[in-house]
Amino acid sequence: MEQLRKERQAKPLPPSHDIIPRVAPLFQEAMREHGKISFIWLGPQPAVTIMDPDLVKEVLSTKFGHFQKHEPDSVERLVITGLLLHEGEKWANHRRIINPAFHLEKLKCMLPAFSACCDELIERWEKLFTAEGGDGEMSLHREVDVWPEFQSFTGDVISRTAFGSSLEQGRRIFQLQNEIGEIVSHRHFPGYRYLPTKTNRRIDKMLAEIDVLMRGMIEQREEAIRKGGSRNTDLLSLLLESNLKESAEQGGSETTMTTEDVIGECRLFYFAGHETTAVLLTWTMVVLSMHPAWQERAREEVLRAFGKSKPDYSGLSRLKIVTMVIYEVLRLYPPVIMIARETYKEMKLGDVTYPPGVELILPIVFIHHDPEFWGPDAGEFNPERFAEGISKASRVPGAFIPFSGGPRVCIGQTFALLEAKLCLARILQHFSFELSPSYAHAPYQVITLHPQHGAPIIMHRL
């Protein structure tokens, strides 16, 4: 099976959206044999993949404490922090304190920060055209690998929205987080983190630097909030305000977050929010390059709504075609291809009773590609299926879960969709684009669904 996986991952696909043979052949084989619920062994732990949307809903909607998440090892804990790590009471308290920072009203105030990052991206791409080509001619088109471009764009968005007035420190934290993420994405044996290796020493140094930077910012903000002088609308300030409010209401009880907790949550914003959104934007550019008619429809809508002016919130929320396109990309290329939970005691799910310690795998990518849920064109790009919204798009309810579901649904989903819509609208206003001949279609899972060989796109200035 491992051989099969390696062979399939070695060669790029023809540009087709049937990505499952490449990203999850092991699961595909298991399902072919066992159907919608299949038992497999992942190392020493029994695992069950669950494809039935009703059962998926049951796993996700069960109150915390019933289904625990897979316990991360010491290396995974470097990036899985904050809400993603916590269970039970601690998770509930943190989620309650953090939720207000992601309310729509607050996100609307962050639009200028999103917009500033878009300005920089567009300017950077525009500059490529004013630079002379190798032949001394001004170029009419330019090739851009949009994958690293969107990674730095979404990192910048988190730096600005999380730490607005301390942007330089925010960007440094992003750099350090990125380097840590890069190390974590390589395979490690259990206990690796406890060895005195050069890499581990480097990680400790980076964590210490993040800690110092964040403590400095937190102290500054808390001081400003106490003095009543904080008009900051960034995530860090909103989170600290909400935390101080909780402390005042609960009489300084244990439900509030400590400085370590706040650091963990802010680090998670980078981990959970940056790469996922970069992946979404990258596949959107790739897919719209493969389907120029949809690219044109999306551009027409954007130009009708805004001309060449900067999009505002109310206009963005009315974009229908752009939203349908983004949903369809999230369906075919879900940035998080599967999530997992774990039984911690004997539990009944559907007609089956599971013992403790069974990993329950919810394979988002399979559910999103299943013809039983989406019809015979499940493997095709057809944004039209979302024309009447998410609830009407699939044959069965609950089959669209790119942001998971239930109480632990992605806290940043509105943030991510706003960011992606704005960025895509700005790109469509300025450029048309097509795949470069050097593009190789190779979706590949490294925590999220990366383009293995990047995403070189030829941009034409409009």
Binding site listing: 410
Q: How far is the CB of 461 from ligand HEM (least distance, A)?
A: 28
Q: Does 339 bind ligand HEM (CB under 6 A)?
A: yes
How many residues belong to the site for ligand HEM (CB under 6 A)?
22
CB 256 within 8 A of CB 250: yes
Of 259-278, binders to ligand HEM (CB under 6 A) are 268-269, 272-273, 276-277
* Vertex 368 angle, CA 387 and 330, to 5°: 60
HSE (side-chain half, CA atoms, 13 Å) at 187:
2
Contacts of 114 (CB under 8 A, 6+ apart): 157, 160, 161, 418, 419, 422, 423
Q: Does 23 bind ligand HEM (CB under 6 A)?
A: no
Which of 164, 311, 398, 402 binds ligand HEM (CB under 6 A)? It is 402
CB atoms within 10 A of CB 54: 11
Which of 363, 398, 412, 443 binds ligand HEM (CB under 6 A)? It is 412
Pick from 101, 83, 79: nearest CA to 91: 83
Q: How far is the CB of 151 from ligand HEM (least distance, A)?
A: 13
Q: How far is the CB of 283 from ligand HEM (least distance, A)?
A: 10
Q: How far is the CB of 8 from ligand HEM (least distance, A)?
A: 24
- 270-307 as b/e, with b when 16 or more CB fall inside 10 Å? bbbbbbbbbbbbbbbbbbbbbbeebbebbbebbeebbe
Of 138-157, binders to ligand HEM (CB under 6 A) are none
Whole-number Å distance between alpha carbons of 231 and 250: 24
Outline where 357-396 has alpha helix (H). Answer: 364-369, 371-374, 390-393
Q: How far is the CB of 436 from ligand HEM (least distance, A)?
A: 24
Q: Of 237 and 436, which CB lies nearer to ligand HEM in the complex structure?
A: 237
The CA distances from residue 79 to 44, 101, 261, in Å, are 24, 21, 14
Q: Of 115 and 200, which CB lies nearer to ligand HEM in the complex structure?
A: 115
CB 162 within 8 A of CB 117: no
H or E stretch covering 200: helix 198-226
Contacts of 176 (CB under 8 A, 6+ apart): 206, 209, 210
Whole-number Å distance between alpha carbons of 94 and 97: 5
Q: Does 68 bind ligand HEM (CB under 6 A)?
A: no
CB 448 within 8 A of CB 279: yes
Please identify, among the stretches 6-14, 256-264, 409-417, 424-432, the one whose residues bind ligand HEM according to the rule CB under 6 A: 409-417
Pick from 155, 364, 180: nearest CA to 277: 155
Q: Of 278 and 459, which CB lies nearer to ligand HEM in the complex structure?
A: 278
> 147 in helix, strand or coil?
helix
Q: Does 336 bind ligand HEM (CB under 6 A)?
A: yes
Q: How far is the CB of 159 from ligand HEM (least distance, A)?
A: 11
Q: Does 411 bind ligand HEM (CB under 6 A)?
A: yes
Q: How far is the CB of 273 from ligand HEM (least distance, A)?
A: 3
Q: Does 365 bind ligand HEM (CB under 6 A)?
A: no
Which of 416, 427, 447, 455 binds ligand HEM (CB under 6 A)? It is 416
Which of 13, 26, 84, 347 binds ligand HEM (CB under 6 A)? It is 84
> 411 in helix, strand or coil?
coil
Which of 30, 298, 410, 442 binds ligand HEM (CB under 6 A)? It is 410
Q: Of 158 and 458, which CB lies nearer to ligand HEM in the complex structure?
A: 158
Q: How far is the CB of 52 from ligand HEM (least distance, A)?
A: 18
Residue nearest to ligand HEM (CB): 412
Whole-number Å distance between alpha carbons of 449 and 458: 22
The CA distances from residue 408 to 68, 382, 418, in Å, are 11, 29, 20
- The full DSSP string for 30-69 is HHHHHTTEEEEEETTEEEEEE--HHHHHHHHHSPTTTEEP
Q: Does 440 bind ligand HEM (CB under 6 A)?
A: no
Q: Does 90 bind ligand HEM (CB under 6 A)?
A: no
Q: Of 402 and 456, which CB lies nearer to ligand HEM in the complex structure?
A: 402
Q: How far is the CB of 392 from ligand HEM (least distance, A)?
A: 21
Q: How far is the CB of 272 from ligand HEM (least distance, A)?
A: 4
Which of 22, 142, 368, 408 binds ligand HEM (CB under 6 A)? It is 408
Binding residues for heme, by number, are 410
Binding site for ligand HEM (CB under 6 A): 83-84, 95, 268-269, 272-273, 276-277, 280, 335-336, 339, 402-404, 408, 410-412, 415-416
